[in-house]
Amino acid sequence: MSKAFSRSAAAEVYAAARALGQEIQKITEKDGKARSRIAAAAEKTMDKDVDDVLRGTPVSFLEDEVADFDSRVLSVRFANCYELKKAGAAALKYYLKPAQASAVTAAIDNKIKEIRGVCVPRINAEARDMDSENLVKAAVDYYRQRDSFEKAEAFLRDCPGYYGLTSDLSLVSGFFKWTFASGARKKAAEAAFDTLSELVKKKGKPSRPHSGAGVSGAEAWKEYEKNSIEIHGMLESLFPELFLREEPGGFVYGLPEEFAGELSGEEILTEGLNCYLRSYQEWGVRYILRQKRVLLGDEMGLGKTIQAIAAMVSVRNSGGEHFLVICPAAVITNWCREIEKHSDLTAYRLHGDRKDELIRQWRMNGGCAVMSYEGTEIFTPADRTPIDLLVADEAHYVKNPSAQRTKRTAWLAARAKRVLFMTGTALENRQEEMKNLVSILQPALGAGLSEKMSPRQFREALMPVYYRRKREQVLSELPELVDTPCWCDMTPEDTAAYASALASGNFHEARRVSWITGDAARASKPLLLKKIIEEAEEEDRKVIVFSCYLRTLEQAVNVIGEKCMPVITGSVPPAKRQQIIDDFESAPPGTALPAQIIAGGTGLNIQTASVVVLCEPQLKPSIENQAVSRAYRMGQTRNVLVYRLLCEDTIDEQITDMLKEKQGIFDAVADISEAATKDPQLTSLLESEQKRYA
């Protein structure tokens, strides 16, 4: 018998254990009901997708599904399979024999199951239809209670025999029960007492989920807009069969099934990680941890930073201490904030006056040091600080092997235990650039890469080191991207100013067509920008205005007026830049943020904006894609409207043609397009610029 065991003491433990068990059971039951509400609402959101596909499916489809079926019998009355579904099985008896009517009904049911198998529930935050709102309300209601649900689930997982032990200890609840019980039952009660005493003391009473009818529609949408990333991650975790779809051809998030099987056993140690990982992000972290020296090339907006932080946390939890992030100076502040927001790692900002003091603290205490590529000169061959994981953000900065920052980064990578390069534009111009990056990570693999390889051979060779997913592959919830070329009718003043720029041979003045017109009130692009800003305010939207020219942005500021934020340029210090972004997030609809496209198009997350204006076409597709991805990324809940301000019969038109031709390799001016050759004056200007950007 346990030394501490007495019937009175055991009765107290039994009462506490029974109460705890009942509380856990209530929470578990509420969890089940809340999940059922989500599942029902999610299924309902797919009805429209199902109906749309059925509307596009002719009745003749059934000829392949039903024996001896002549579709003309039904085509006279029904235009498509949607009308058949709507009419119902009863209507078919007027046209078909019973056996054939049953076969047609079964074929349509199978078609509906097939459609549901490839579509996912969607939340339309733009239209806010009733089905979307019901799903958002159910999801947000669960999201607010998730801590209680998760703790109850963890309790039962950690104590699988809890209810059995409580039942064993119930023997002490009555005098006669105990007196006439067998010796075996008494021993079981004593053993249960020892276990439950510790559990009740250790676990305590769980917090009960809130009661009531849940959240209102307005509350739910507000919460969803604020926490859409975590809510969708939660939905994927709860209902993978609904919110995650298998890829065709035996691939799992872009990985061959066999290789994915090897990665699936890689454990991610998440203690200290303060955010949900989406399913595709978990695969990214597994890839980073298992392969050790890799290039993560996910399309912009998919959370490469979160995956890097999760990898650092996992390495820390397995014994690592020192982590180093190298990134452009403009995003050092953002990196430090993300690290401390999403993990319990200490971030050291090795930039500015205190960097010498902070690097000493990092070397002594561990954590994550964050510095610019230029700042890596602080490391010398005498430095012996271990680097458990080196992260190089915007790794295309080190694609040139002769550059000093490339050499320093390569030296640090060689001495780091693990290395993660991150960039959404690993290949901007030539395969050679990709080879240079891979050679830093895995020299032997890089040496085996050849430009003579076919595209398929090149991709297959990169599989151990390069992992890339696109938005449409993994973000089923991402709203629509509406990309609109806005061709402006040039005013007489525009035409005269543009002609003068061409006559002077000034390429950059020609690119600023309509922004070089003296009076903005008589210039087509400024007038259109003003209209876009006004419409954005009416639709409760915010706007980002991009240009590569400071003088264009200065004119844009005058057009925008009092609703304009300070301009983000390359000369704005990183801390000030982040403050502008923070202020923009809390600003009212109609507010516009002007930004130089290189400075504002890299490393910043601005999901609060849903309108993007490009004042002129850029010379590389990757520059435009990066700019648009500041707003069109994970966490965006509204349709993103992209307006490209263009003037016909100008350099705008010819650069746009070249962008289309060279999109495949992100090289906008490698060749001169047919359109450009029509104007000898422009051809000369573009040929001179081609040498700079090739």
In this structure, are 442 and 372 located in the same domain? Answer: yes
> What distance in Å separates the CA atoms of residue 57 and residue 65, rounded to the nearest whole number?
13
In this structure, are 494 and 424 located in the same domain? Answer: no
Helix (H) or strand (E) holding 391: strand 389-393
Could you give the angle at the alpha carbon of 681 between the alpha carbons of 429 and 550, nearest 5°?
60
69: in domain: yes
> What distance in Å separates the CA atoms of residue 576 and residue 310, rounded to the nearest whole number?
27
* Backbone torsion region of residue 254, taken as left when φ is above 0, otherwise alpha when ψ lies between -120 and 50, otherwise beta: left
> What distance in Å separates the CA atoms of residue 250 and residue 257, rounded to the nearest whole number?
5
In this structure, are 177 and 107 located in the same domain? Answer: no
Interstrand relation of 251-252 and 255-256 (parallel, antiparallel or unpaired): antiparallel
Contact present, 123 and 220 (Cβ < 8 Å): no
Contact present, 94 and 84 (Cβ < 8 Å): no
235: in domain: no
Burial class (CB in 10 A: 0-12, 13-18, 19+), 94: exposed
In this structure, are 199 and 323 located in the same domain? Answer: no
In this structure, are 38 and 67 located in the same domain? Answer: no
> What distance in Å separates the CA atoms of residue 556 and residue 547, rounded to the nearest whole number?
9
Interstrand relation of 322-327 and 367-372 (parallel, antiparallel or unpaired): parallel
In this structure, are 499 and 555 located in the same domain? Answer: yes
Residue 233: predicted pLDDT? 86
Q: Which of 569, 286, 601 has its CA nearest to residue 425?
A: 601
> What distance in Å separates the CA atoms of residue 510 and residue 557, rounded to the nearest whole number?
21
In this structure, are 19 and 65 located in the same domain? Answer: no
> What distance in Å separates the CA atoms of residue 466 and residue 213, rounded to the nearest whole number?
48
How far, in whole angstroms, is CA 464 from its chain's centroid? 23
- Give the total number of structural domains in the chain: 4
In this structure, are 79 and 92 located in the same domain? Answer: yes
In this structure, are 113 and 138 located in the same domain? Answer: no
**Long-range Cβ contact pairs of 98-107 (< 8 A, separation 24 or more):** 100/66, 100/68, 100/69, 103/65, 103/66, 103/67, 103/69, 104/62, 104/66, 104/69, 104/74, 107/62, 107/65, 107/66
239: in domain: no
Domain boundary among 192, 226, 260: 226
- What does DSSP assign to residue 480? -
H helix runs in 88-216, sequence order: 89-92, 98-118, 130-158, 162-169, 175-179, 183-203
Contact present, 285 and 314 (Cβ < 8 Å): yes
> What distance in Å separates the CA atoms of residue 22 and residue 170, rounded to the nearest whole number?
14
> What distance in Å separates the CA atoms of residue 382 and residue 359, rounded to the nearest whole number?
15
In 10 A of CB 208, how many CB atoms? 13
For residue 577, give the CATH number of its domain. 3.40.50.300
- What does DSSP assign to residue 419? E
Condensed to tens digits (0 to 9), the pLDDT of residues 648-671 reads 888 888 888 777 765 544 332 222
> What distance in Å separates the CA atoms of residue 276 and residue 234, rounded to the nearest whole number?
7
The answer for residues whose C-beta is within 8 angstroms of residue 572's C-beta and 6 or more apart is 566, 580, 599
Q: Which residues of the chain carry a pLDDT beneath 70? A: 1-4, 202-213, 245-252, 425-430, 600-604, 661-694
236: in domain: no
CA separation, residue 142 to residues 31, 230, 234, 641 (Å): 8, 12, 9, 31
Q: Which of 264, 146, 260 has its CA nearest to residue 206?
A: 146
Q: Which of 431, 615, 595, 405 has its CA nearest to residue 529?
A: 615
Dihedral sign computed on CA atoms, order 500, 503, 505, 511: positive
The answer for residues whose C-beta is within 8 angstroms of residue 17's C-beta and 6 or more apart is 162, 165, 166, 169, 196, 199, 200
Burial class (CB in 10 A: 0-12, 13-18, 19+), 118: exposed
Domain boundary among 118, 149, 173: 118
> What distance in Å separates the CA atoms of residue 204 and residue 152, rounded to the nearest whole number?
12
> What distance in Å separates the CA atoms of residue 510 and residue 512, rounded to the nearest whole number?
5
- What does DSSP assign to residue 96? S
- What does DSSP assign to residue 35? H
Give the gyration radius of the chain's Cα atoms. 31
In this structure, are 422 and 273 located in the same domain? Answer: yes
Q: Which of 144, 135, 149 has its CA nearest to residue 30?
A: 149
The answer for residues whose C-beta is within 8 angstroms of residue 15's C-beta and 6 or more apart is none
- Phi, psi dihedral angles at 367 (to 5 degrees): 115, -160
In this structure, are 254 and 282 located in the same domain? Answer: yes
- Domain assignment of residue 29, given as a range: 7-46+125-226
232: in domain: no
Q: At what angle do helices 98-118 and 47-55 cross, to 10 degrees?
A: 120
410: in domain: yes
In this structure, are 252 and 161 located in the same domain? Answer: no
Where are any strands of DSSP class E within 333-378?
347-349, 367-372
Q: Which of 661, 649, 674, 659 has its CA nearest to residue 510?
A: 649
Helix (H) or strand (E) holding 422: strand 419-422
371: in domain: yes
In 10 A of CB 147, how many CB atoms? 12
> What distance in Å separates the CA atoms of residue 384 and residue 289, rounded to the nearest whole number?
23
Q: Which residues pair with 543 in a beta bridge?
A: 592, 611
> What distance in Å separates the CA atoms of residue 564 and residue 17, rounded to the nearest whole number?
61
pTM for this model (two decimals): 0.71
How far, in whole angstroms, is CA 81 from its chain's centroid? 36
Residue 344: predicted pLDDT? 96
In 10 A of CB 252, how many CB atoms? 18
> What distance in Å separates the CA atoms of residue 362 and residue 344, rounded to the nearest whole number?
15
> What distance in Å separates the CA atoms of residue 503 and residue 499, rounded to the nearest whole number?
6
Domain boundary among 442, 474, 506: 474
640: in domain: yes
Name the token pair of 112: 């509906």
- Phi, psi dihedral angles at 505 (to 5 degrees): 70, 20
